[in-house]
Amino acid sequence: MGEPGGSNAGGDDAFRVWTYALNCCLDDEHPPEQAGADQQALINDYVDLIVEELEADPDRLAAAAAQCRERADQDTAAGCPPHHGDVWGAYLAELGAARVRTAGADTSSRKRERLLRQIHQRSTPAASSTLWDRPRQWARNWRWLRKRRRLNPVWWWRRHQLRRALTFEHARRADDMLIVVANLHGDAIGKIGFESCAICQRGLVCKVETYPPYDGYGIGGLLVDAALAAGGRPSDGFSWYTTGQYADARGFWRTMARRHRTPFRSGSTAACAHMRSTTTGTSDERSVRLDGAL
């Protein structure tokens, strides 16, 4: 089956798969075959995203899986642990290709369109069916409603107390992914995963997450500050980028870009070659600078 999107560089597809895999495996370093039942729903969601991103084309999915698998094998042959983005990326892309074949979308364009439509419906919140709920749903997206909490002194007091009590814990994985966890009285309330390359002076933020009920208090911004303090500040010449951004997160990243004066854009050039492999460069060159981190 030909590529619906026309000529596409396989490296771009492999990079998209790699970035989704980074978010999927952020919490776990075990191989995907050992994923628990509680993680299957998350895996299925990311498989849907990958299938939709690569337009349910089994050839593109198979090529992306092969490239991720090849990089992982190269790392293993060099005596280094394979990058989990490659290991999980190959696994997710292979699941996506199997899903396309199971649906018959590899031989029928109509079935492919049906599969993409079903994935889009699963990933899009259902619209409200009542006139009463519909305006309330739209109102949640109004900027003035999101910002009116700043007029409440109780919100400012809670935000101040919360930020004073936060501590940050750093954990570095074998594939050079660094995770910063925000703790409140010993309990994790948010985390950020990122990579940083001292050679290219480039950083890549993979995922920022704040757990309810602590979202909306600026914890995400503090996690970004902690990541830049650990991985390299823009004032020291580092440029920071992100993996794929959800539509409702783009405003946050625009704010972070203005605050830190660094791009925080996504794209196929966001990660350098040292981040894509555990064998490129020496450990000292590619080590993340933890001195001075929060």
Q: What is the pLDDT of residues 101-150, one digit of tens each?
A: 999 999 999 999 999 999 988 876 544 444 334 444 444 555 566 667 77
Assign 267 a pLDDT band (cuts: 50, 70, 90): confident
Residues 155-183 have a mean pLDDT of: 87
CB atoms within 10 A of CB 80: 16
Where residue 227 sits, what CATH number does that domain have? 3.40.630.30
Q: What is the pLDDT of residue 202?
A: 92
Task: Name the strand (E) or helix (H) holding 183.
Answer: strand 178-184
Q: Supply 288's token pair.
A: 């993340």
Return the sign of the alpha-carbon dihedral for residues 96, 246, 290, 270.
Answer: positive
The mean pLDDT value for 212-238 works out to 93
Looking at the structure, tell me whether residues 50 and 177 fall in a common domain: no
What residue numbers bound the domain in which 50 lies? 10-123
Better-scored residue on pLDDT, 16 or 258: 258
**Domain annotation covers residue 148:** yes
Is residue 130 included in any domain, yes or no?
no
Whether residue 293 is predicted with pLDDT greater than 60 in this model: the reply is no
Statement to judge: residues 68 and 158 lie in one domain: no
Give the integer Cα–Cα distance in Å for 246 and 13.
18
Average pLDDT over residues 237-245: 89
Task: Give the pLDDT of residue 138.
Answer: 44
Side-chain-side CA neighbours of 41 within 13 Å: the count stands at 3
Q: Which of 175, 222, 168 minimizes the C-alpha distance to 196?
A: 175
Quick one: average pLDDT of 14-36? 79
Mean per-residue pLDDT of the chain:
81
Q: Judge whether 101 lies within some domain.
A: yes
Q: Look at residue 139 and tell me if it is in a domain.
A: no
- Global pTM reads 0.76
